[in-house]
Amino acid sequence: MQSGNAARGSFGSQLGVILASAGSAVGLGNIWRFPTEVGKGGGAAFILIYLGFIFLIAMPVMISEFIIGRSARSNAIGAFQKLAPGKLWVAAGIMGVLGGFLVLSFYSVVAGWTLHYTIQSALGQLQGLQTTVNGQQTTDFAAAFNAFVSDPWQPILYIAVFLLLTHLVVARGIRHGIERYSKLMMPMLLAIIVLLVCFSLMMPGASEGIRFLLKPDLSRVTPEVILGAMGQAFFSLSVGLGCLVTYASYFNNETRLVSSAMNVCIIDTMVAVLSGFIIFPTVFSVGIAPDAGPGLVFITLPNVFLLTFGEMPVAGYIFSLLFYVLLLLAALTSSISMHEICTAFISEHFSHSRKRAAAIVTIVCLVLGSFCSLSFGPWQEVTIFGRGFFDLFDYTVTKFLMPLGGLLITVFVGWWLDRKLVEGQLTNDGSISIRAMKPLLFLIRWVAPIGILVIFLNELFPLFMMN
């Protein structure tokens, strides 16, 4: 290990490496976006395609980020400056840090909504949003949600609280902050998922949702579904922005990069698939299709909780509370990694203390997150290139920065970095053997870049059609 790494901090155990990296990958997208994509893509057929792309595209990008981070022992920008001084490869690091700021800003908005719903569930108020329709009392979750997100101040308060929670973890450092809380939050997250799956499978009509998840419907598979599975696999693991470059810079020399990446992929996929076993049996039990995106979490599911547990309020209270705590934990584990990208860069590039750097990131993201939140309310008419702040940040990151970053990272590792350096990182300088070395390098050099390029061009195609 390089001497400077002790001052930067490092993970203290292999378990810490896996849980922190898995926490970076596991996020809100695993809970609501994955089931939504599965619903659109034919259930089990989509899942099978998705699994293929996880290991053919997303995992090679993750391993590439690990190689860059551990070999350079630096932040996302500094890593490329060390490994390719004076070259344009540093653009990949710059996009990563910029993406980190943008993601944390708009992500904290949705995380703030999640915090609000978690508190409402804990107070037993989630089922109390009553309104009158045609003379009858009913619960209008859509109206309640729209009223909340369009409020100019409440969502910003929740953003501030969520960012403060994230800040407190990052400011404590790698071993005493990120690793310690990853070891706490990830087991809690997995335990809650198991409990919710058990709840969901006991619901009347759950068998229909299970059948949808396990029985492939190949007639629903189209080129669009295949590309959707490829994109979901890529974005699910949070690769392409450099957060795993940053995390890997804290790995010790004994960390096994390939097995760590494999374990992270397995945990992330398990969370996504199990979330399907929570969502599908639940919504199928009341005849609702899970294809509403964020509305699924904040409008559809509260309605499902009310309908399903109407005669069992205690069960409804427990289920809804556990579900939103699960979402909040997933949001926190991902936001911590986004925060760390930016904090590590500011701390190392400008020679600030970690606490000062973390404070700068938190303040900047609070301001930008407030802009994103206001785009649902008073600033709805304020647009840039026809998009509000939230949509603009989301579009910029998911359609441009992530795929371009992933493409540059795999090409950099596969074609530019010295082959001996790459193999040395993969084998821990020859102390372990990698039987599938050639296939792995083939995935990094050819399969992953081409797959990412296909995703990128597919996303750009509508732009070409407009011109």
Q: pLDDT tens-digit profile of 22-69? A: 999 998 878 877 887 888 787 888 999 999 999 999 999 999 999 999
Q: Which domain holds residue 350?
A: 4-466
Which residues contact residue 23 at a Cβ distance below 8 angstroms, ignoring those fewer than 6 apart?
182, 185, 186, 333, 334, 336, 337
Average model confidence (pLDDT) across the chain = 88
Which residues contact residue 216 at a Cβ distance below 8 angstroms, ignoring those fewer than 6 apart?
42, 43, 44, 45, 48
Longest CA–CA separation in the chain, Å: 75
**What's the pTM?**
0.92
pLDDT for residue 3: 37
pLDDT for residue 6: 46
pLDDT for residue 50: 92
- Place 328 in a pLDDT band, splitting at 50, 70 and 90: very high
pLDDT at 342 exceeding the cut of 80 = yes
pLDDT at 191 exceeding the cut of 90 = yes
| CA–CA dist 233, 228 (Å, integer) | 9
Tell me the mean pLDDT in the region 431-449. 92
Is the Cβ–Cβ distance between 109 and 163 less than 8 Å?
no
Full 3-state SS string of 121-187: HHCCCHHHCEEEECCEEEECHHHHHHHHHCCCCHHHHHHHHHHHHHHHHHHCCHHHHHHHHHHHHHH
Q: Which residue from 135, 196, 189 is spatially nearest to 320, judged by alpha carbons? A: 196
Q: pLDDT tens-digit profile of 409-421? A: 999 999 999 999 9
Range from 93-102, 193-202, 353-362 carrying the lowest mean pLDDT: 193-202
CB-based burial, 110-129: b 16+ in 10 Å, e otherwise: bbbbbbbbbbbbeeeebbeb
- Place 446 in a pLDDT band, splitting at 50, 70 and 90: very high
pLDDT at 5 exceeding the cut of 50 = no
- pLDDT over 70, % of the chain: 90
* Amino acid (1-letter code) at residue 47: I
pLDDT for residue 231: 76
User: CA angle 433-435-441, nearest 5°?
Assistant: 100
| CA–CA dist 190, 22 (Å, integer) | 11
pLDDT at 467 exceeding the cut of 70 = no
Tell me the mean pLDDT in the region 166-194. 96
pLDDT for residue 7: 58
pLDDT at 133 exceeding the cut of 70 = no
CB-based burial, 179-197: b 16+ in 10 Å, e otherwise: bbbbbebbeebbebbebbb
Range from 9-13, 228-232, 245-249 carrying the lowest mean pLDDT: 228-232
Looking up tokens 């989301």, which residue turns up?
394
Neighbours of 345 (CB within 10 A): 25
pLDDT for residue 4: 41
| CA–CA dist 80, 98 (Å, integer) | 15
Range from 51-55, 136-140, 222-226, 301-305 carrying the lowest mean pLDDT: 136-140
Cα dist from 430 to 14, 254, 427, whole Å: 19, 11, 5
Range from 22-31, 56-65, 367-376, 438-447 carrying the lowest mean pLDDT: 22-31
Tell me the mean pLDDT in the region 164-179. 96
| DSSP conformation class of 399 | I
**Residue 283 sits in a domain of what CATH number?**
1.20.1740
Tell me the H-state helices in 288-401: 294-295, 301-308, 313-349, 354-374, 389-396
User: In the chain, how many domains are there?
Assistant: 1
Cross-strand bridge partners of residue 130: 139
| DSSP conformation class of 425 | H
